[in-house]
Amino acid sequence: MSKILITDGMDKGAVQTLKDMEHEVTEQFFEPEELKEQVKKFNVIIVRSATKVRKEIIDEALKTGNLKLIIRGGVGVDNIDVVYAESKGIKVRNTPKASSSAVAELALGHMFCLARFIGIANVTMREGKWNKKQYKGIELSGKTLGLIGFGRIGRELAKKAKALEMKIIYTDILGPAKDCPEYSFVSLGKLLTDSDFISLHVPGNKDKSPVIGKPEFSKMKEGVYLINCARGSVVDEAVLLEALNSGKLAGAGIDVFPEEPTKNLELISHERVSVTPHIGASTKEAQKRIGAEIVSIIKENF
């Protein structure tokens, strides 16, 4: 039996499974200062994106030596000091398989929303406006979708977009994917110049520098759409706003922000922006898969 702390919520069925396995489970969010004290009591911490497990938290856990495993219920682990934790003998795991389809569907949803003015039309109609002539959109069919990052989520989005008859190009630091000959691997520069839609599926840089900044925006074609369901830090928000205001970008779909909750009201209230509050993995199905994967990780380690 182990003592498990779940700080940011978890599928109830999976929680019950852990309890049935006779683990002692606590479900509670703690602010950083209180977490420093609480972390000493537990063998496992399960977090999503809200809880940050930084060096100072890990140092407190080391005082008792109880903490053996940190699990991120999701893909990215940038809210955990992974290298430091593992250097101290604390394992860090995530659930990379569980949410791929959910995030890909959200990215596609933002694409539809921007292409057909679905979001802004919802707003203006509720204000009593009938802006039919203003909302002449575009079809996704026949457009080029450029994927920056071609891991599980990128591949899921490619598959769904191909069904819509989009042309798929991608770039990835690992090079061409040998098992996906139906999609075209290109350089980042070519992807930026050729894409009608660009969707990011990469982890944030360790130094928080953007993957897409002023040099990258300058290479994009006029009227491109940018989708970010990856990490807030991968796009320079200030330059993104400039590109929207100048018309360089026809629209942006954003699920993630450098600071969450975001305070960038100018960005999220922009008429050509579709926004969601970091809900990429927030489907019932994805959360069940994440829960099952977490249970499997705990079974392997305890």
Calculated CA dihedral for residues 101, 106, 111, 113, nearest 10 degrees: 140
Contact 237, 267 (CB under 8 A): yes
Q: Is 175 left (phi over 0), alpha (psi -120 to 50) or beta?
A: left
- Predicted local distance difference test score (pLDDT) of residue 76: 85
Share above pLDDT 70 across residues of the chain, in percent, rounded to a whole number: 100
With vertex at residue 242, the alpha carbon angle to CA 236 and CA 246, rounded to the nearest 5 degrees, is 145
Selecting among 48, 231, 270, 289, the annotated active-site residue is 231
- Is the predicted pLDDT of residue 1 greater than 90, yes or no? no
- Is the predicted pLDDT of residue 199 greater than 90, yes or no? yes
Would residue 110 show up in a list of annotated catalytic residues for this protein? no
Question: pLDDT tens-digit profile of 207-263?
Answer: 889 999 999 999 999 999 999 999 999 999 999 999 999 999 999 999 999 999 999
**Mean pLDDT over residues 136-141, rounded?**
98
Would residue 260 show up in a list of annotated catalytic residues for this protein? yes
CB within 8 A of 88, min separation 6: which ones?
A: 58, 62
- Work out the mean pLDDT of the chain and round it to a whole number: 96
Cα distances from 275 to residues 93, 204, 251, 272, 294, in angstroms, run 29, 19, 11, 10, 29
- CB neighbours of residue 16 within 10 Å: 12
| Residue 293 or 1, more confident | 293
What domains sit in the chain, N to C, each tagged with a CATH number? 3-95+284-301 (3.40.50.720), 100-275 (3.40.50.720)
- Is the predicted pLDDT of residue 205 greater than 90, yes or no? no
**Mean pLDDT over residues 82-89, rounded?**
97
- End-to-end Cα, the chain, rounded Å: 7
pLDDT band at 162 (very low <50, low <70, confident <90, very high): very high
- Is the predicted pLDDT of residue 18 greater than 90, yes or no? yes
- CB neighbours of residue 128 within 10 Å: 6
With vertex at residue 191, the alpha carbon angle to CA 189 and CA 194, rounded to the nearest 5 degrees, is 110
- Predicted local distance difference test score (pLDDT) of residue 300: 95
- Predicted local distance difference test score (pLDDT) of residue 206: 78
Contact 222, 168 (CB under 8 A): no
- Is the predicted pLDDT of residue 204 greater than 90, yes or no? no
How many residues can be counted in the chain? 302
Record the tokens describing residue 299, joined without a space. 């079974």
- Is the predicted pLDDT of residue 47 greater than 90, yes or no? yes
- Predicted local distance difference test score (pLDDT) of residue 88: 98
- Predicted local distance difference test score (pLDDT) of residue 208: 80
Would residue 105 show up in a list of annotated catalytic residues for this protein? no
Taking the model in full, what pTM does it have?
0.92
Question: pLDDT tens-digit profile of 53-73?
Answer: 999 999 999 999 999 999 999
**Mean pLDDT over residues 31-42, rounded?**
96
Selecting among 23, 270, 278, 289, the annotated active-site residue is 278
Selecting among 260, 266, 271, 285, the annotated active-site residue is 260
